[in-house]
Amino acid sequence: MSLRFRPWLRGICTILGVLQIVAVLCAFERPALAYVDPGSGYVFLQVIGSMCAGSIFYLRHRLRRMLGLASDGNSEPGSDSSSSPQE
Amino acid sequence: MTSLASFAPATFRDPAGSLRIAGDRVFRTVRPEFAEDCLSFLRSEMAQSWMASGKLVETRVVHEARGEDLKLEHRRVFFPSYPWEWTPGQWLSAAELTLEFAEQQLALGRVLKDATPLNILFEGSNPVFVDVLSSEVRDLENPLWLAYGQFARTFLLPLAAYKHLGWPLSASLIHRDGYQPSEIYPHLSLWSRFRTPVLSHVTLPHVLGQRRSAAAPPRNFRQRPEVALHSHRRRLRKLRSAVRAVIPTLATSAWSDYPQTADHYTSEDRDQKLEFVGRILYTARPERVLDIGGNTGEYSRLAARSGARVVSWDTDVAAAEQNWRAAVAGNLAILPMVADFARPTPALGWRNAESASLLERAHGRFDLVMMLGLIHHLLLIDQIPLAEIARLTAELTTRWAILEWIPASDRRFVDLCRGRDALYGHLNEFGFLNAFSEFFSPVSRKALSNGRVLFLMLRNH
């Protein structure tokens, strides 16, 4: 891809990132599924924590593949982000 | 136990079912739509091995029919205790069992749907997970643990408040769902707010919770199953570290050092007292012993080694904690509790029927009650008349009592009397025996050289 499109791409990525965060926040407004109070702050933290854990998992897996240490090709995360919320 | 209390529902908040205690038996009813899932868990290898090792309450199916309530019966734990009666070590032990249970659930494709200390009871010094309905099938693509907030509020935050603010763990009695981060946050120092794990479990949830006050968990936040599993495991690992980080180091108090600093006992007195109590325990062979004012558990351990199941009450947290640690180290059947004989834990919860009072639980449960070095405290500090002490003792034991009478000339008696000689100075051994004679008959008497007198008494029937 030519270099002059990069600012475009960066802009699109930024918008997608913002939309992703908005999507997560919108999802918070849905009713709770548990009979115990999940706690607003704790849910938000878990979402962030799960995203981080997913990213680490993904990166570690990619690194292992690069180094030829992966034991199971079936567990490779797909091209869709493994940690992104799906609205 | 009254007939009303005997049949009142003990737990009912879980929509999947309820629990009832009828006399000495514990029954759980599971609604038809949850029956199959519950049975699938109970018949899993994990549940069976946990029951065999005593970490999960033994459960048998009483009635099972399609479309009908599932009826279960649990083995009754000898003496139920509640988190507000636990030492910090018991809290840690209960938290670790909860996290271990949650971890093992993941491998079964299940998840813990509630995570509160009320899911745990103690059999002696061993924690037992008692809520078999807490396990449910997990959505394999959901990385969120909905009970995470409850675990933080009911385990982590009370422990953090105890460590950083000195708020007693017994205050959990008035906080059924633990502390909210916003209750603790304003009281923490700036330094504490940014320390691990307070930052992640108090400060950040407080700040985020303020911004998103009406938030509910997102339904469509999904991850690939292996990634979601990784997120769950990572979270449990971090929670385990967080719980260990908020356990305070072993504290001391005037009472926790009492066995070493009690200078009103010579070593000869101490040996004679141990010999007297030990001889009774090994000849009477009680099965269930209540040690009231058990301190660090010197005599509780003697009773446990003689083969009895022991419950040991003391008001001093540091002393009870030492008792607990020694019981764990020696693998002894002792349940230390932070409990006050003069101000016993009340019944709590809906209709006062969710948690039984201390005396309701103790009534007639023991065949031997020990009150060593305690009666003068009840008399002089709590101002309980001797006849009342005798009456309540008789309600707790079905057979024996080992009592220590401290004469008015004793240094400790004089210290506690603090000039109220007109009220208490006349009390003597004769008056003590007279007060107890309505309920007990003395069987054996041993006078120590320091003037204190030990009695073995047999309950009148």
Q: Considering only CA atoms, which of B333, B339, B342 is closest in space to residue B295?
A: B339
Amino acid at B402: I
Which of A41, A46, A57 has its CB closest to that of B227?
A57
Cβ within 8 Å of residue B20, ≥6 positions away: B7, B8, B9, B10, B26, B27, B28, B29
B351 to chain A nearest CA, in Å? 21
Question: Tens digit of pLDDT for each residue in B235-273?
Answer: 999 999 999 999 877 666 666 666 666 667 778 888 999
CA separation (Å) from B92 to A5, B243, B263, B453? 57, 7, 34, 39
pLDDT tens digits, one per residue of B170-192: 999 999 899 999 999 999 999 99
Query: pLDDT value at position A23?
Result: 56
Distance from CA of B156 to the nearest CA of A (A): 13
Contact residues on chain B for A57, CB-CB shorter than 8 A: 226-227, 230-231
Contact B204 A37 (CB under 8 A): no
pLDDT of residue B268: 87
- Confidence band for A76, pLDDT divided at 50, 70 and 90: very low
Q: Report the C-alpha gap between B300 and B53 in whole angstroms.
A: 24
Residue B14: which pLDDT band, with cuts at 50, 70 and 90? confident
**Chain B residues lying within 8 Å of A24, measured CB to CB:** 218, 221
Confidence of residue A10 (pLDDT cuts 50, 70, 90): low
**Residues belonging to chain B:** 461
Is the pLDDT at B29 greater than 80? The verdict is yes
Percent of chain A exceeding pLDDT 90 equals 0
User: Comparing C-alpha atoms, which of B385, B403, B352, B374 is closest to residue B294?
Assistant: B374
For residue B367, the SS3 value is: strand
Asked whether B50 and B289 are in contact (CB, 8 A), the reply is no
Mean pLDDT (chain B) is 91
The dihedral of CA B336, B341, B347, B349: what is its sign?
Answer: negative
pLDDT for B101 = 98
B352: left (phi over 0), alpha (psi -120 to 50) or beta: left
Between residues A37 and B271, the one the model is more confident about: B271
Instruction: Check whether B1 has a pLDDT greater than 50.
Output: no
Q: Is the pLDDT of residue B3 over 70?
A: no
Instruction: Report how far residue B95's alpha carbon sits from residue B153's, in angstroms, rounded to the nearest whole number.
Output: 12
Alpha-carbon distance of B201 to B239, in angstroms, equals 10
Chain A environment of B220 (Cβ under 8 Å):
27, 85-87
B197 versus B417: the higher-pLDDT residue is B197
Task: Give the predicted TM-score (pTM) of the model.
Answer: 0.86
In 3D space, the residue among B322, B363, B324, B317 whose CA is nearest the CA of residue B340 turns out to be B317
Interface membership of A48 toward B (CB under 8 Å): no
The upper half-sphere exposure of residue B23, i.e. CA atoms within 13 Å in the direction of its Cβ, equals: 0
Question: How close is the nearest chain B Cα to the Cα of A29, in Å?
Answer: 5
Backbone angles phi and psi of B398, in degrees to 5: -95, -10
- Local confidence band at B445 (pLDDT 50, 70, 90 cut-offs): very high
3-state SS assignment for residue B337: strand
Query: Is the pLDDT at B9 greater than 60, yes or no?
Result: no
What residues in A contact B154, CB-CB < 8 Å? none
Asked if B208 lies within 8 A of A39 by C-beta distance, the reply is no
ipTM for the predicted complex: 0.72
Element (H, E) at B245: helix B225-245
Structure tokens at B455: 């009695």
- List the structure tokens of B298: 């010197």
The answer to whether residues B149 and A38 touch, using CB atoms and an 8 Å cutoff, is: yes
Q: What band does B154 get if pLDDT is binned at 50, 70 and 90?
A: very high
pLDDT band at B359, cuts 50/70/90? very high
pLDDT band, very low/low/confident/very high, at A74 (cuts 50, 70, 90): very low
Contact B217 A41 (CB under 8 A): no
Q: Is the peptide bond before B197 cis (omega within 30 degrees of 0)?
A: yes
DSSP A4-61: GGHHHHHHHHHHHHHHHHHHHHHHTTSPP-SSS---HHHHHHHHHHHHHHHHHHHHHH
Query: pLDDT (tens digit, 9 = 90+) per residue, A12-27?
Result: 766 666 566 555 554 5
